[in-house]
Amino acid sequence: MDSAPADVGLEAGVSVPTPLKILVAGGFGVGKTTMVGTLSEIPPLNTEQTMTEVSEGVDDLAAVPDKRTTTVAMDFGRITIDDSMILYLFGTPGQTRFWFMWDELASGAVGAVVLVDLRRIDDCFAAVDYFENRRLPFVVAVNGFPDTYEFPESTVREALLISQDVPLLWTDARDGELSRSALVSLVEHALSRAS
Amino acid sequence: MPAYALTNGRTRPRGRDTPIESLVSVTEYGRRGAAALEIEYRRIVEMGDQLISLMEIGYALGVPVGVARVLVSDLAESGHLVVHAPPPVAAYGGPSQEILERLLDGLRAC
């Protein structure tokens, strides 16, 4: 291709919004696609992406030389916060037998909402472990499936093995207000880490 | 055609890595020169008419974001596009306090 002068850029006066990203993670069928769809201002995109994969049971992901790539489905949505900020949402896949090396997604992210179905709490452990190891701010949001509002918070915390400083909240991935307040909780939590 | 054939097997762009949420816009040079480009490049330049993320370009082309990154990087190098890298992260690895506060205000106002 031809080369252009070095200084060819945007027209003067055009400001570029800051792109941010939040991950929505959790087990298979827990409501990630639903939550991304509820929050997104565009019809959520479901994309197949090539990602680096690492076997489970490995503590230090960064130290693993033997990485493979695999193709995984991912949900993608967008919220325009204002003229100067766009928030992208990534629904990350729910397989628990393998956890994927989501460095690309997690890098520089605001944080993650880990969705939990209390009838199948084991499904969220991979995500919780991953974000804990990577020190990415996250909140745990119990998705409101039938009969899951019965348990007190302390019982749920104990079952999920999450520490007191991880926000735990109840949500409904179909509900815009509740889903947005899960994001608000996450950003507040991230702020406590950032300041 | 396999997606990676578009990039001659390259999966990483030359130069600095570009996060998938990076926004891309077309330059005046790109606008004028789009017609002369190969089809995939031309489509990207046309998409850049409005700010668009690397992720969305990959989706629109039906290729992995890694492939989109290589193609966008070519177009940035040739001056057709500008890639706007997200702001640098704070010491803890995420966005700065100031950015998070703006995000929080915005989410609450939604």
Residue A7 lies in a domain: no
* Residue A51 is assigned to a structural domain of this protein: yes
What is the average pLDDT score of chain A?
80
Mean of per-residue pLDDT scores for chain B: 87
Q: Which residues of B touch A191 (CB under 8 A)?
A: 97, 100-101, 104
Judged by CB atoms within 8 Å, which residues 48-67 of B form the interface with A?
51, 53, 55-56, 58-59, 64-66
Q: Do the chains contact at B106 and A81, CB–CB below 8 Å? A: yes
Range with lowest mean pLDDT among A10-19, A111-120, A150-159: A10-19
What is the predicted pLDDT for the residue at B10?
A: 63
Over the stretch A80-100, which tens digit does the pLDDT of each residue have? 999 999 999 999 865 544 444
Q: The domain containing residue A79 runs over which residues?
A: 18-194
A60 inside domain: yes
Number of structural domains chain A divides into: 1
Overall pTM > 0.90: no
- DSSP β-ladder status, A18-26 and A85-91: parallel
Q: Which residue out of B28, B69, B103 would a mutagenesis test of the A interface target, given it has the greatest number of A Cβ atoms within 10 Å?
A: B103
Residue A8: inside a domain, yes or no? no
Answer whether A133 touches B (CB < 8 Å). Answer: no
Per CB-CB distance under 8 Å, the chain B contacts of A4 are: 27, 29-30, 33, 78-80
Q: Is A9 domain-assigned?
A: no
Give a yes or no: residue A10 inside a domain.
Answer: no
User: For the residues A52-77, what does the mean pLDDT come to?
Assistant: 57
Q: Which residues of B touch A47 (CB under 8 A)?
A: 55, 58-59, 65
- pLDDT, tens digit, 9 for 90 and up, residues B36-47: 999 999 999 999
| CA A40 from centre of chain | 14
Domain parsing of chain B, residue ranges: 3-109
Q: How confident is the model at residue A121 (pLDDT cuts 50, 70, 90)?
A: confident
Give A151→chain B minimum CA distance, Å.
28
Q: Span B48-74, mean pLDDT?
A: 91
The DSSP-derived string for chain A is: -----TT--SPTT--PPEEEEEEEEESTTSSHHHHHHHH-SSPPEEEEEEEEEE-TT-S-GGG----EEEEEEEEEEEEEEETTEEEEEEE----SSSEEETHHHHTT--EEEEEE-GGGGGGGHHHHHHHHHHT--EEEEEE--TT-S-S-HHHHHHHHT--TTS-EEEE-TT-HHHHHHHHHHHHHHHHHHH-
Q: What number is the ipTM of this complex? A: 0.85
pLDDT per residue over A177-193, tens digit each?
999 999 999 999 999 98
Establish if A125 belongs to a structural domain.
yes
In a domain, A112, yes or no: yes
Q: Which of B22, B78, B94 faces A194 most closely, judged by CB atoms?
A: B94
We report the CATH number of the domain holding residue A131 as: 3.40.50.300
Strand, coil or helix: what is B93?
A: coil
Residue A149's pLDDT is 64
Cβ A19–B21 below 8 Å, yes or no? yes
Residue A77 has a pLDDT of 95
Nearest to B86 among A19, A76, A82 (CB): A19
